[in-house]
Structure 1
Amino acid sequence: MVTYKFPDNFWWGSAASGPQTEGTYDGDGKGESIWDYWYKKMPDKFFDEVGPADASRFYHTYKEDIQLMKATGHNSYRHSIQWSRLIPDATGAINQTAVAYYNDLLDELLANDIEPFMNLYHFDMPMYLQEKGGWLNRATVDAYVSYARTCFELFGGKVKKWFTHNEPIVPVEGGYLYQFHYPCEVNMKHAVQVGYHEMLASAKAVQAYREMGQDGQIGIILNLTPSYPRDEHNPEDIKASVLADAIFNRSFLDPSIKGEYPPELVALVKELGILPDIHDNDLAVIRDNTIDLLGINYYQPRRVKAKETPVDRERSPMPDDYFDNYEMPGRKMNPHRGWEIYEKGIYDILINVRDNYGNIPCFISENGMGVEGEEKFRNADGVIEDDYRIEFVRDHLKYVHQAIQEGANCLGYHMWTCMDNWSWTNAYKNRYGFISVDIHNQWQRSIKNSGRWFKQVSDNNGFN
């Protein structure tokens, strides 16, 4: 008997990205992305000075790695095409070496009964576009749509699940508010314009997909972080949580599914005089080209309270001008990563999508537990005993199961990530994978306890 039984054909698997796994090699034809450039200029910004060229070598080991996916119960897997690999320079010429690689990767996944879910953009802006402003420049929207059309033409026969962006709020936050992505600005007006251009690019890619008669589904991957007020009976705390939700969640969730922006966000940017540059017909394009499928990334909640600390006038305006973060007493923590663990958050997201977003088909596209120094949990047989990760995934899946039982249209669960990978400025500091990657020993792979457990879950389509 399986206590927590999931729907037939449930998607079991994991997610990763091209820039975090593939690496860079002589002769691969890859162009420079913002990450390659930033590492070259400021390697000290990256943990242990490990840069993107030293990602986990999936470019060369994907066949072996796909066998490890099978051994850990995958029937689906999300990867991303690197824009700078496929179209490496401003001429727009297609890198045929990249085309061959992605075709071989897709063929290998399909031959092993693992459905490929492909994402078009995972924070990896080509440097030749960033030099002209990146997402600040409307020309990047047109370049992105051309790139998306190229991907659909080249790989649409094999890929039936496409995603326009992974976590589009992150380039906004990281690049233009909080300085953890290149170009490290603090400029809310730029942040608003970048977010708007990303959303417009997403809608135009959806439009292109349908115009081309592609026969799959196209969606977006959003990191939805529930904004909980400190006090559910305090109007000022509630107001703070609603605005935080509009900025960080609904800024992409509402236009992607409803075709319109949340009124709280529109009112805020109007009040600040930082409305984006909107062209004729833009809002109609966003309205008429909503997604088929929503990917939900969930790691931790956001807890907020009414603003009590002074506004930083040197950095203002900033989202933080309108609320303070709140550390709830007694909260459950991941001691290895410093993030709160709140399993019910995943249920709250799914019920919100059920009730307020038409119960659109969705899936958990990322959920995971990062651990620093995970080698200390390796046993005498060389296996990492990550029972804490099993507990984390199991307890989140219980809430996913409950939401499905209550009518949520959730079709799958992908963990972040398949195997330990390079993670932006954190490099290999925090490990997330079902599979360990020993970067000091020939990049050797080995399945962790969690990977073996996940295989049983997938085989049984559930767990006790």
Structure 2
Amino acid sequence: MLFLVLIEKIAGRITVNNFSGSTDFLGINYYLSHVVRGVTDDETPPSQSERDGSYAFVEGKWEKICGDTWIRYAPDGLLALLKYVKETYNNIPVFITENGCPDIVGEEKKPVEEILKDTHRIKYITGHLEVVAKAIEEGCNIIGYTLWTLMDNFEWDDGFELRFGICRVDFESPEKTRTMKQSAKFYQNFIREFKKHHNLL
């Protein structure tokens, strides 16, 4: 109802030209890429909304770097996306607002010392930051990058089950003790060097 009232009040006063070129930046959350295909008339794809009804997902070639989760290792998809934004949207500023991966599924049963050796996450971070560097060198207007995430947290879809933090949180301890994983130490050094060469925030 409110939508209809707004349309009545502002119709004709605001045009596309009012918005053209007014974007401060585009924020992108990137975790993986998908391969999709069109659907045939006789199939109904699993869909969350009307918008999803015209395509179905196809299993891609990307590595399941975290085990059996929805995350895939697909830095090539990020590079393609950044180039697409540059070419299609007049190279508007891009801030990568989220990019990361969780601990490997099932690792929570291992000793903490092993969980802290998260080499898969180092590979994920490295692969994605390498394509960010390449995109910057190719003229993409990238103004920032945020790794998801500093500490294990509550994820909207996965609760406490998937741990994305580069610092482990012991949710059982009263102090919620935090311990740096190998990826935290790696990332600390990596961004120090990366910023020198690429002026990324």
Query: TM-score, length-normalised on structure 2?
Result: 0.79
State the partner residue of 1:366: 98
317 and 401 in structure 1: CA distance in 2 versus 1, 3 angstrom threshold: closer
Amino acid of the residue matched to residue 378 of structure 1?
Answer: V
Q: Deviations for 1:116-138, whole angstroms, at most 9, x for unmatched residues?
A: xxxxxxxxxxxxxxxxxxxxx63
Shift of 1:360: 1.0
For 1:386 and 1:280, how far apart are their aligned partners in 2? 55
For 2:111 and 2:49, how far apart are their aligned partners in 1? 45
Q: Deviations for 1:379-409, whole angstroms, at most 9, x for unmatched residues?
A: 17xx711111010010011111111100001
CA contact (8 A) 1:377 1:386 kept: no
Which of 56, 59, 80 is residue 348 of structure 1 equivalent to?
A: 80
Which of 262, 265, 288 is residue 18 of structure 2 equivalent to?
A: 288
The question of 1:418 aligning with 2:150 is answered yes
SS at 1:416's partner residue? Answer: coil
Q: Deviations for 1:12-37, whole angstroms, at most 9, x for unmatched residues?
A: xxxxxxxxxxxxxxxxxxxxxxxxxx
CA contact (8 A) 1:350 1:408 kept: yes
For 1:295 and 1:316, how far apart are their aligned partners in 2? 23
Structure 1 unaligned residues grouped into runs of 5+ = 1-136, 139-196, 198-276
For 1:449 and 1:326, how far apart are their aligned partners in 2? 34
For 2:51 and 2:178, how far apart are their aligned partners in 1? 42
CA contact (8 A) 2:71 2:101 kept: no
Q: Deviations for 1:138-195, whole angstroms, at most 9, x for unmatched residues?
A: 3xxxxxxxxxxxxxxxxxxxxxxxxxxxxxxxxxxxxxxxxxxxxxxxxxxxxxxxxx
State the partner residue of 1:448: 181
- Report the number of matched residues: 187
Which has the larger displacement, 361-370 or 277-286? 277-286
For 2:100 and 2:136, how far apart are their aligned partners in 1? 20
For 1:424 and 1:434, how far apart are their aligned partners in 2? 18
Which of 113, 119, 123 is residue 379 of structure 1 equivalent to?
A: 113
Give the RMSD, CA atoms, in angstroms. 3.0
Structure 2 unaligned residues grouped into runs of 5+ = 197-201
Identity across the alignment (%) = 28
For 2:52 and 2:44, how far apart are their aligned partners in 1? 9
State the partner residue of 1:333: 64
Alignment of 1:98-177 (within 5 A): 138=2
State the partner residue of 1:459: 192
For 2:11 and 2:194, how far apart are their aligned partners in 1? 43
Amino acid of the residue matched to residue 112 of structure 2?
Answer: R
CA contact (8 A) 1:309 1:324 kept: no
For 1:285 and 1:373, how far apart are their aligned partners in 2? 53
SS at 1:349's partner residue? Answer: helix
State the partner residue of 1:301: 33
CA contact (8 A) 2:37 2:58 kept: yes
The question of 1:404 aligning with 2:126 is answered no
State the partner residue of 2:199: none
Shift of 1:428: 0.4
